[in-house]
């Protein structure tokens, strides 16, 4: 057996009794001074499944509801409780206490924005008469039709990208004032924007209401996915850039 490492909390923290770890294993803490590691036992030979990644995230998401937690990246296995204490916690205790103080009472909320393809094309055609004219000309068969199709595809792609940039900038302007800090992530190909908000736990009702209001007034081409609360993944990356084990 090995020890799966989920994250670090302050010593004395009580874990949610209803939350289990990988393979439904019970959670426990290993304390050193003012900090504690959240761990569970795991078979080191077990094949890693999607359910294991989900369990890791679920543990952290459940704890951050009421407690400040420094998340570890998935897959950190340590041989024993003693190794967690002596090789991980004790050498880093001062730094971990500092990070727990830095992120005290803070949670991450992640906003992922994407376009409805049909709606964004309708918007582009409504706003760009030149694109409509080019599209309509495709039906006229001549020696240049193939070239016009290629040109139309390029113009549409550039137009959709420009709308995406404008929509992303608008969302950043709307969301930034809601947060203690923000981190704009690299969006996937299907996304307009992915942004992490670092917010105070006490501000969650206000932030939730503001994001709900924003989603209701957005143009029909935009879709928001709101995820959280989470541990401060995006912000720990910056704070622990030289410490590769942290999420």
pLDDT digits (tens, 9 = 90+) for 226-243: 888 999 999 986 544 445
| Cα three-residue angle 225-230-236, rounded to 5 degrees | 115
Distance CA 37, CA 191 (A): 35
What is the pLDDT, as a whole number, of residue 247? 52
pLDDT tens string 169-213:
999 999 999 999 999 987 777 888 999 999 999 999 999 999 999
Enter the tokens of residue 61.
């998401």
| DSSP structural state of residue 178 | G
What is the pLDDT, as a whole number, of residue 244? 43
- Secondary structure (3-state) at 151: helix
What is the pLDDT, as a whole number, of residue 242? 47
The pLDDT of residue 120 is above 90: no
- Secondary structure (3-state) at 98: helix
What is the pLDDT, as a whole number, of residue 154? 74
What is the CA 33 to chain-centroid distance, rounded? 31
| Cα three-residue angle 50-225-246, rounded to 5 degrees | 50
What is the pLDDT, as a whole number, of residue 90? 92
Tell me if 152 sits within 8 A of 124, measured CB to CB: no
Helices (H), the chain: 50-64, 81-83, 90-102, 117-127, 129-137, 145-175, 204-217, 233-239
| DSSP structural state of residue 138 | T
Distance CA 247, CA 236 (A): 7
pLDDT tens string 66-90:
899 999 888 888 888 888 999 889 9
Comparing 147 with 12, the larger pLDDT belongs to 12
What is the pLDDT, as a whole number, of residue 126? 79
CA dihedral 236, 73, 65, 190 (to 10 degrees): 80
Distance CA 16, CA 24 (A): 14
Comparing 117 with 110, the larger pLDDT belongs to 110
What is the pLDDT, as a whole number, of residue 188? 78
The burial of 175, by beta-carbon neighbours within 10 Å (0-12 exposed, 13-18 middle, 19 or more buried), is given as: buried
Average pLDDT over every residue of 109-138? 79
What is the pLDDT, as a whole number, of residue 245? 53
The pLDDT of residue 132 is above 70: no
Distance CA 185, CA 150 (A): 32
Single pTM value for the model: 0.81
- Secondary structure (3-state) at 166: helix
Average pLDDT over every residue of 109-116? 92
Tell me if 235 sits within 8 A of 183, measured CB to CB: yes
Torsion over CA: 125, 126, 132, 136 (sign):
positive
The pLDDT of residue 64 is above 90: yes
Mean pLDDT of the chain: 85
């Amino acid at each position: 057996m090995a020890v799966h490492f989920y994250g670090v909390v302050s010593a004395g923290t009580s874990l949610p009794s209803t939350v289990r770890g990988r393979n439904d294993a019970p959670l426990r803490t290993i304390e050193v001074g003012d900090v504690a590691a959240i761990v569970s036992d795991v078979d080191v030979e077990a094949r890693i499944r999607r359910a294991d990644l989900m369990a890791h995230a679920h543990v952290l998401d459940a704890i951050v509801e009421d407690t400040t937690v420094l998340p570890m990246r998935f897959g950190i296995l340590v041989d024993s409780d003693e190794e967690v204490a002596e090789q991980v916690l004790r050498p880093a205790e001062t730094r971990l206490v500092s990070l727990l103080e830095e992120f005290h009472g803070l949670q991450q909320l992640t906003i992922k924005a994407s376009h409805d393809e049909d709606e964004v094309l309708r918007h582009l055609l409504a706003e760009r008469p030149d694109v409509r004219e080019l599209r309509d000309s495709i039906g006229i068969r001549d020696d240049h039709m193939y070239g016009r199709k290629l040109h139309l595809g390029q113009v549409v792609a550039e137009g959709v990208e420009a709308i995406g940039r404008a929509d992303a900038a608008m969302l950043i302007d709307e969301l930034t004032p809601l947060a203690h800090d923000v981190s704009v992530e690299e969006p996937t190909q299907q996304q307009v924007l992915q942004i992490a908000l670092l917010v105070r736990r006490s501000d969650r009702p206000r932030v939730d209401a503001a994001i709900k209001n924003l989603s209701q007034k957005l143009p029909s081409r935009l879709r928001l996915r709101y995820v959280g609360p989470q541990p401060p993944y995006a912000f720990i990356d910056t704070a622990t850039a030289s410490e590769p084990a942290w999420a």
